[in-house]
Amino acid sequence: MKKRYNTLNDYYRELFGEKIFKVPIDAGFDCPNRDGTVAHGGCTFCTVSGSGDAIVAPDAPIRDQFYHEIDFMHRKWPEVKKYLVYFQNFTNTHDKVEVLRERYEQAINEPGVVGINIGTRPDCLPDETILYLAELSERMHVTLELGLQTTYEETSALINRAHSYELYVETVKRVRELAPKVEIVSHLINGLPGETHDMMLENVRRCVTDNDINGIKLHLLHLMTNTRMQRDYHEGRLQLLSQEEYVSIICDQLEIIPKHMVIHRITGDAPRDMLIGPMWSLNKWEVLNAIDKEMERRGSTQGCKVEVTA
């Protein structure tokens, strides 16, 4: 049954003509707010392994990681023959262009690779890096996954994000000017400390109206072991969302996202042995089904509350 929002699966099937794998890779990059470039300690929600906790073989060479991942995925979908390489872990443009080129090329030239997704931050995209991405976009599909997480400066400071929303907006504009074929996906997290339902809606509203982006990724905040955010939780500064609250927030957000924009994610995954909460998030399909049912109950669709200007 077709969803009431513009899913990534539908978009990729239309774009590539068939189902594809998105293959996560740990390319050995660090983050500027971990290594002292702009701050120390990293974002307070981030684990010691970044966002790559589920990567099958993170310590293997890049090319080996690629084949470990697709071998694992082929157990469930043996028919898939096309792949997007997803440089996921930490900040994947946080080095010189020569280093990026050397690491990316280890995976993107493998048979069946039709594109590359690059997870990064707005403070790690100098012009020379964007121009390299423009070059890549002439060869394959290129998606830049830009971590934003929040548009509120007070929240950004609280989670040690170490860049401003203003910088994010400026970076999106430069990517649009220098690499127009590159698709841009914004990442936002619902449930950050101190943010209300209305603030989470405003995060989405600003993101889709201030920026010329192609897609959005909506994450649930997962409170993980061995993160600095544990202290906020234990000292009462962080209240974890209930499933009902999260479903309501997501549906409200979908209603104000323009219909053409691709929804890359509306919930996430976390390793069970590292998750402090919310534990209901482990039942991913139950959450997705609850969102579908609520959208149907409301009779709403993605973009149904977007204001149309003459």
State pLDDT tens for residues 69-113: 999 999 999 999 999 999 998 999 999 999 999 999 999 999 999
Q: Is the pLDDT score of 163 beyond 60?
A: yes
Please report the pLDDT score of residue 47 as a whole number: 78
Nearest to 275 by CA among 45, 59, 42: 45
Phi, psi of 236 (to 5 degrees): 85, 10
pLDDT tens, 272-292? 889 999 999 999 999 999 999
Torsion angle defined by CA atoms of residues 131, 132, 137 and 138, in that order, rounded to the nearest 10 degrees? 90
State pTM to two decimals.
0.93
Measured over the CA atoms of residue 15, residue 17, residue 18 and residue 24, the dihedral's sign is negative
Which pLDDT value is given to residue 237? Answer: 83
The partner residues of 173 in beta bridges, in order of sequence, read none
Task: Tell me what pLDDT residue 56 has.
Answer: 58
Alpha-helical segments (H) within 109-217? 127-137, 153-158, 165-178, 197-210
User: Does residue 310 have a pLDDT over 50?
Assistant: no
Are the C-beta atoms of residues 107 and 25 closer than 8 Å to each other? yes
Rounded to whole angstroms, how far apart are CA atoms 41 and 160? 8
Domains of the chain: residue spans and CATH: 8-298 (3.20.20.70)
What pLDDT does 67 receive?
A: 93
pLDDT, average across residues 258-276: 92
Residue of 202, 190, 186 lying closest to 152 (CA atoms) = 202
pLDDT at 253 (0 to 100):
98
What rounded mean pLDDT belongs to the chain? 92
